[in-house]
A = this chain, B = another copy of it.
Amino acid sequence: MPSAKSTKPSSAKPASAKQGEPISRGAGARQRVLRAALEVLDEHGLPGFTMEAVARRANAGKATLYRHWDSAGALLIDAMDATFQPFPVPDTGQVETDLAHLLTAFVRLLEETPFPRLLAAFVDAAERDPALAALHADLTERRREPVLVVLDRARERGQLPDHLDAELVTDLLTSPFFYRRFVAHRPIPDGMVDDVIAHVLGTRISAGRRKSS
């Protein structure tokens, strides 16, 4: 990560700075490399994803890229992370509503961003490269966090039973969307988020409500 920050916001840079602008200029330059990385991945897939190709696309030196990322794999992970804006954790007091917020944002990510292509490339690459698999496992861990927080708060409010297996419930809530998109190649219908939540929390919520009433 670049430590020296430009005092100018990147939008105020003169047009000529786009050519050969040193990456150490700050967050704007970092974003530029990450954007270039996504473009290279999108066009050429993982086999064409090299430091050289990204440097060329970003108008940056290869050596400069290496100063910020150890390997093409590390750069890839950062680029992938950048497509996945961290979801704010909703806290409406209703577990179904909170989960609907999170899952709707996730479906939008699957349908409207370069994220699914990146993920698909990762799924394949991780089969051949345990280091990439480990990095991807870490990313997935981070992304499960908001769902786990929502489930945890619901337990504290008595909306879900204490013995709920939150990890399993998180699998059940999120995996059908991955599966539809990447395995079954089926559209994700409008009501699916609500249906999945209702089905997965069905018993547990009634159990919780019985307990608290």
Report which A residues bind B (CB closer than 8 A): 45-47, 116-117, 119-121, 123-124, 126-128, 133-134, 136-137, 140-141, 144, 165, 168-169, 171-172, 174-176, 178-180, 182-186, 192, 195-196, 199-200, 202-203, 206
What are 21 A-B pairs at a CB distance below 8 A? A45-B124, A47-B47, A117-B127, A120-B124, A120-B126, A121-B124, A126-B185, A133-B185, A134-B185, A136-B185, A141-B184, A144-B184, A165-B199, A168-B196, A171-B179, A171-B184, A175-B175, A175-B179, A178-B179, A178-B183, A182-B182
Please give the count of copies of this chain that the complex contains.
2
Q: How far is the CA of A123 from the CA of B185 in the complex (A)?
A: 9
Task: Write out the residue numbers on chain B whose beta carbons fall within 8 Å of the beta carbon of A186.
Answer: 137
Q: How far is the CA of A45 from the CA of B140 in the complex (A)?
A: 24
Tell me what chain A mostly uses at the interface: helix, strand, loop, or mixed: helix
Are B178 and A196 neighbours in the complex by a CB distance under 8 Å?
Answer: no
Q: How far is the CA of A116 from the CA of B199 in the complex (A)?
A: 28
Are A185 and B124 neighbours in the complex by a CB distance under 8 Å?
Answer: no
Given contact pairs A140-B183, A168-B199, A175-B180, a sample of 16 additional A-B residue pairs in the complex whose CB atoms are under 8 Å apart: A116-B127, A117-B127, A121-B124, A126-B185, A137-B185, A144-B184, A171-B184, A172-B176, A172-B199, A172-B200, A174-B179, A175-B183, A200-B200, A202-B203, A203-B203, A203-B206
Tell me the minimal C-beta distance from A58 to chain B in angstroms.
Answer: 23
Q: How far is the CA of A165 from the CA of B191 in the complex (A)?
A: 13
Q: How far is the CA of A185 from the CA of B128 in the complex (A)?
A: 13
Tell me the minimal C-beta distance from A157 to chain B in angstroms.
Answer: 21
Q: How far is the CA of A50 from the CA of B183 in the complex (A)?
A: 23
